[in-house]
Structure 1
Amino acid sequence: MLTINFAHGALDTQKQQELSEGFESHSETQSAPPYHKEKMNWTVQDENGKLIAALTADLLWEWIYIDELWVDDRCRGSGMGRKLIAKVEQYARDNHLSGLWLWTQSWQAEGFYKQMGFEEFTRFDNFPTGHSRIGLRKTLVPPHFEV
């Protein structure tokens, strides 16, 4: 008889490997493009080497997912966030990537990203209650489709 087990936390290493192999195997049967996620980051340190801003991202299937963008409170309003986004966008353009995308919350930086040319592609209202989780993207090159 099959059982469904519940546990808090991440899968153990063996189960995670089995899961990954299962996804890869299924993707191959569907002729899906290979799954290769590359982590990257851009950081800014002050003259003493203290981190004052950072942007972390993942590159997957010609799109950069911006995971975290943080600027120290003392540097907010200085243009540091814009400079980091510009660096990521230039990297994407230099590498002929399709675009950038991210999640933000309604209390965070929706207006900032829209000023940077991002457009909303989805919104989850009441996540958490009274707020929204917003998906934003910036397309850089038109997709290439083979027919």
Structure 2
Amino acid sequence: MTDDSITLSLTDASDSADAASILNGLKRYNEAASGRAPDRRDVTIVARDADGTLLGGLAGYTQWDWLYVDQLWIAEGGRRGGVGSRLLAAAEAEGLARGCRWSRLYTYDFQAPDFYPRHGYEVWAELDGYPEGHKQIWFRKTLG
């Protein structure tokens, strides 16, 4: 194959069939290289008050013995009331039930970097300048 026989197309709205093909190709490669089938399962936990108002939530997934917390959000006014701690504990319990041995996540210095160490997480990486003037902080924890 030569460079002039390859056409690249760029879009900010991916074709779902192309996106699925890319994901499936990556899954097949990862399974062959790691010797483990991709066992990714989403996890979403929401917290509501007695009236059904959304107080916050957590979204992530489990895969290959790891819980990955992708998003943890608490509504304004509900912060520092224990909702985040309950959501995180519920996600960790679900991770353990699914056979996870570790958890990982990231936050930013303007979000909740002090919250996670109080729950047993340790910093394992920091990315300065993301976004500019701030840093992204990666945490991990051994579960159980």
> Fold match, TM over 0.5?
yes
Give SS of 2:18's match: helix
Aligned partner (choices 123, 133, 139) of residue 120 of structure 1? 123
Deviation sequence 1:71-117 (CA, Å, 0-9, x none): 12222121111111122222223443111111100111011111111
Partner of 2:18: 15
Partner of 1:45: 48
Q: TM-score, structure 1 length as denominator? A: 0.84
Give SS of 1:133's match: strand
Q: Distance in 2 between matches of 1:17 and 1:3?
A: 19
Distance apart, 1:28 and its partner CA: 4.2
Give SS of 2:96's match: helix
Answering whether residue 62 of structure 2 is matched by residue 70 of structure 1, we say no
Unaligned runs of 5+ in 2: none
Q: Distance in 2 between matches of 1:38 and 1:103?
A: 19
- Give the 3 Å change call, closer, same or farther, for CA 112–31 of structure 1 in structure 2: closer
Aligned partner (choices 102, 109, 113) of residue 112 of structure 2? 109
Identity within the alignment, %: 27
Q: Distance in 2 between matches of 1:71 and 1:77?
A: 9
Q: Distance in 2 between matches of 1:60 and 1:74?
A: 33
**Conserved? CA contact 2:62–2:100, under 8 Å:** no
Paired AA for residue 78 in structure 1: G
Deviation sequence 1:26-62 (CA, Å, 0-9, x none): 2344253111321111111111111112111211112
Q: TM-score, structure 2 length as denominator? A: 0.86
Answering whether residue 6 of structure 2 is matched by residue 2 of structure 1, we say yes
Equivalent pairs, count = 140
Partner of 1:82: 85
Aligned partner (choices 21, 28, 48) of residue 25 of structure 1? 28
- Give the 3 Å change call, closer, same or farther, for CA 17–96 of structure 1 in structure 2: closer
Distance apart, 1:133 and its partner CA: 0.7
